[in-house]
Amino acid sequence: MTPLPDRCEVVVIGGGVIGVSVAYHLAEAGIQDVVLVERKELTSGTTWHAAGLVGQLRSSINMTKLARYTSELYRGLEAETGQATGYRQCGSMSIAATAERFEELKRSASMAKVFGLEVNVLSVAEIAERYPLIQTDDLFGGIHIPSDGYANAVDITQALAKGAKGRGVRIATHTKVDEILHEGGQITGVRTDRGEIQAKYVVICGGMWSRDLASTVGVNLPLHACEHYYVLFESVEGLHPDLPVLRDYDACTYYKYDAGKLLLGAFEPSAKPWGMGGISEDFCFDEIAGDFDHFEPVLHDAMKRFPALERAGIQKFFCGPESFTPDVRYHLGEAPELKNCFVAAGLNSIGLQSAGGVGKVTAEWIRDGRPPVDLWEVDVRRNMPFQRNRRYLQSRVGESLGLLYATHYPYRQYETARGVRKAAIHDRLRAAGACHGEAYGWERPNWYAPKGVEPVYDYSYGRQNWFEHSAAEHRAVREGVALFDQSSFAKFRFEGRDTVAVLNRVCANNIDVAPGRVVYTQWLNERGGIEADLTVTRLTEHAFMIVSAAETEVRDFYWLKRHIPDDAHCVLTNVTSGIGRHLDHGPQGARSLAVVDP
């Protein structure tokens, strides 16, 4: 057993592909004094059963950069470490069985050009030529990414572990973290079942265990395990290792060559949450019994697409748990609630293809004290406290899994876990024809349907059904008087003798103004970068109301909290849910009115 030191710079919790990649990249970034602790064996949580797809095209440039870096890393990992990785650059192909899907694929292909990733749009004839095993009569077209591929998740993790150890990282398996230690709002180490380690930083990479572990130190990490299914077919006629990975989004399925067999996996629209009563202490290389009836419709459609499957034998029907998040984006970065407590968890079934990039940016974030690129879309500070609610999570993650392969129409709204946060005038807005969308748990009117029109989205890639109604609203605001409900905006009360001094240090503008005045200002970091964009209203000599965007409620609250000196006489209270806010807009411009909720 690896002996545990008394102290080190960083403790990484979790020996899945994410934790091992973080450890590898910490050493690569020059921080070698790292201990990785794993409660059982490396890969024994979710990683061991990953199907092995390594794709690169994501919905934004920075997420694509992270996935591309991962592919590049895996390509060279075997040569670097001497450990086989099973990586094969066979390309990937995504097919469209509807015109709308083909539109989505073509849009992502043109976006990929901006990212510098080679993506080719394919005709139906070209699809049939590249993948003769599938039925193509109903297809509209597809896209091909030559540099995508697949790998063996266990071997990749072992190779990263070998690379990390070679750079000085200590890996302690059969060592469970029982407690994360902290003092004065800052990490001090961990207590394991084999003793204590003092550390400056802790990184929680505990996969589906991360939510409960983080909550023991007040860190909010909303994620929940879901069942994810695949089937292994043997004796599939015509199968060979260089067939591209195939994604048939409209049938919710993916296909991949797997050591002489064909792996068929699915992201069905209504998935099944798992582990509601907690996850057993003994979980180690385990699988779930699974529900064949739940998977059968997917299998049925797959046989139409892939006729050879009707004659092939099912070697294995597999169901394994993976953690999903409410917005299908993973959680990265320093937890706002606890200094030097970092997280890298909630990988939404793209953990293998994301691990390289996730490890690299997490390590650089720890080393430099700031993220190396804009990572806001996955930043843990975007999460709201209510999202730790289990009922909310169980309801949402079933939808999250399916959204991986759903058509991502503009303005698409979540269907589950709705109605969590409502303004005081919600019912009146609804009665006025509001079609609500969800933002950070808030129900916000996105557009108003006139009498006789149902306030429901009719999604499309063309002009959607709300267009004319939104134009009418816009005209009314320009030409008349309007009242905006801004209750979802973040609102903090800041009171005390030292508030002026503290705010004038944090704000870029002078907030020492007469009571009743509003100051629009930014909060800047030490490099002059913008951390927050908000208004500060002076209520009385020693009381202020800070109003910021709904999206940055948690981030802004903790930014100010961390910048209040210990000896300052200030009280900061988040009053977002207790106070409504309306903005009236007339010929003289905008005027803000704060309204206390009844």
Ligand X SMILES: Cc1cc2nc3c(=O)[nH]c(=O)nc-3n(C[C@H](O)[C@H](O)[C@H](O)COP(=O)(O)OP(=O)(O)OC[C@H]3O[C@@H](n4cnc5c(N)ncnc54)[C@H](O)[C@@H]3O)c2cc1C
Closest CA to 319 of 40, 54, 49, 41: 49
Kindly tell me which residue out of 13, 117, 393, 570 binds ligand X, with binding defined by CB under 6 A.
Answer: 13
How many whole angstroms from its chain centre is CA 366? 19
CB of 551 to ligand X, least distance (A): 25
CA angle 568/571/573 to nearest 5° reads: 150
Kindly tell me which residue out of 102, 131, 209, 440 binds ligand X, with binding defined by CB under 6 A.
Answer: 209
- Residue 554 interacting with ligand X (CB under 6 A): no
How many whole angstroms from its chain centre is CA 171? 27
* Residue number with CB closer to ligand X (264 or 423): 264
CB of 210 to ligand X, least distance (A): 7
Kindly tell me which residue out of 25, 39, 58, 491 binds ligand X, with binding defined by CB under 6 A.
Answer: 39
Q: Which two tokens stand for residue 191?
A: 């207590």
CB of 263 to ligand X, least distance (A): 9
CB of 353 to ligand X, least distance (A): 4
* Residue number with CB closer to ligand X (282 or 567): 282
Burial class (CB in 10 A: 0-12, 13-18, 19+), 596: exposed
CB of 173 to ligand X, least distance (A): 9
Backbone angles phi, psi at 451, to 5 degrees: -50, 135
- Residue 401 interacting with ligand X (CB under 6 A): no
Partners of 196 in the beta sheet?
191
* Residue number with CB closer to ligand X (258 or 399): 258
Stretch that binds ligand X, among 77-85, 206-214, 288-296, 527-535 (CB under 6 A): 206-214
Helix axes 153-166, 61-81, angle to 10 degrees: 70
Q: What is the DSSP letter of 478?
A: H
Site for ligand X in 335-394 (CB under 6 A): 345, 347, 349-353
In whole angstroms, give the CA distance from residue 230 to residue 295: 9
Q: What residue ranges in 125-267 does DSSP mark as E strands? A: 141-145, 149-150, 170-172, 177-183, 186-192, 195-204, 224-234, 245-248, 253-258, 261-266
DSSP letter for each residue of 483-547: EEE-TTSEEEEEESTTHHHHHHHHBSS-----TT-EEEEEEE-TTS-EEEEEEEEEEETTEEEEE
- Residue 14 interacting with ligand X (CB under 6 A): yes
* Residue number with CB closer to ligand X (193 or 237): 193
* Residue number with CB closer to ligand X (54 or 506): 54
Q: Please name the residues in contact with 507: beta carbons below 8 A apart, sequence gap of 6 or more.
A: 519, 521, 522, 523, 536
Q: Which two tokens stand for residue 437?
A: 């969308």
* Residue number with CB closer to ligand X (232 or 564): 232
Kindly tell me which residue out of 7, 40, 165, 493 binds ligand X, with binding defined by CB under 6 A.
Answer: 40
Longest CA–CA separation in the chain, Å: 81
CB of 356 to ligand X, least distance (A): 11
- Residue 253 interacting with ligand X (CB under 6 A): no
Stretch that binds ligand X, among 32-40, 72-80, 118-126, 565-573 (CB under 6 A): 32-40
Q: What is the DSSP letter of 297?
A: H
- Residue 442 interacting with ligand X (CB under 6 A): no
CB of 185 to ligand X, least distance (A): 22
Helix (H, G, I), strand (E, B) or coil at 146: coil
Please check whether residue 29 is in contact with residue 372, taking contact to mean a CB–CB distance below 8 angstroms.
Answer: no
Kindly tell me which residue out of 207, 244, 326, 402 binds ligand X, with binding defined by CB under 6 A.
Answer: 207
Kindly tell me which residue out of 34, 53, 403, 417 binds ligand X, with binding defined by CB under 6 A.
Answer: 53
* Residue number with CB closer to ligand X (314 or 477): 314
* Residue number with CB closer to ligand X (246 or 550): 246
Characterize the bridge pairing of strands 245-248 and 253-258.
antiparallel
In whole angstroms, give the CA distance from residue 134 to residue 142: 13
Site for ligand X in 300-339 (CB under 6 A): 320, 322
- Residue 49 interacting with ligand X (CB under 6 A): yes
Total residues binding ligand X (CB under 6 A): 39
In whole angstroms, give the CA distance from residue 51 to residue 5: 36
CA angle 271/141/457 to nearest 5° reads: 50
* Residue number with CB closer to ligand X (52 or 336): 52
- Residue 487 interacting with ligand X (CB under 6 A): no
Kindly tell me which residue out of 47, 85, 108, 548 binds ligand X, with binding defined by CB under 6 A.
Answer: 47
Please check whether residue 322 is in contact with residue 226, taking contact to mean a CB–CB distance below 8 angstroms.
Answer: yes
Site for ligand X in 120-159 (CB under 6 A): 153
In whole angstroms, give the CA distance from residue 493 to residue 50: 47
Q: What residue ranges in 383-529 does DSSP mark as E strands? A: 434-439, 442-448, 482-485, 490-495, 518-524
Locate all alpha helices (DSSP H) within 38-142, ordered by sequence: 61-81, 99-115, 124-130
- Residue 44 interacting with ligand X (CB under 6 A): yes
CB of 255 to ligand X, least distance (A): 11
Site track for ligand X across 174-193, x = CB under 6 A? --xx----------------
Q: Which two tokens stand for residue 164?
A: 């990390």
How many whole angstroms from its chain centre is CA 359? 15
* Residue number with CB closer to ligand X (345 or 403): 345
Stretch that binds ligand X, among 9-17, 72-80, 117-125, 466-474 (CB under 6 A): 9-17
CB of 349 to ligand X, least distance (A): 4
Stretch that binds ligand X, among 17-25, 92-100, 292-300, 376-384 (CB under 6 A): 17-25
Length of the chain counted residue by residue? 598
- Residue 16 interacting with ligand X (CB under 6 A): yes
* Residue number with CB closer to ligand X (108 or 552): 108
* Residue number with CB closer to ligand X (14 or 398): 14
Partners of 48 in the beta sheet?
none
Characterize the bridge pairing of strands 34-37 and 7-13.
parallel
Closest CA to 40 of 158, 172, 161, 174: 174
* Residue number with CB closer to ligand X (288 or 543): 288
In whole angstroms, give the CA distance from residue 54 to residue 448: 43
CB of 553 to ligand X, least distance (A): 26
- Residue 18 interacting with ligand X (CB under 6 A): yes
Binding region for ligand X (CB under 6 A): 13-19, 37-40, 44-47, 49-53, 153, 176-177, 205-207, 209, 213, 228, 230, 320, 322, 345, 347, 349-353
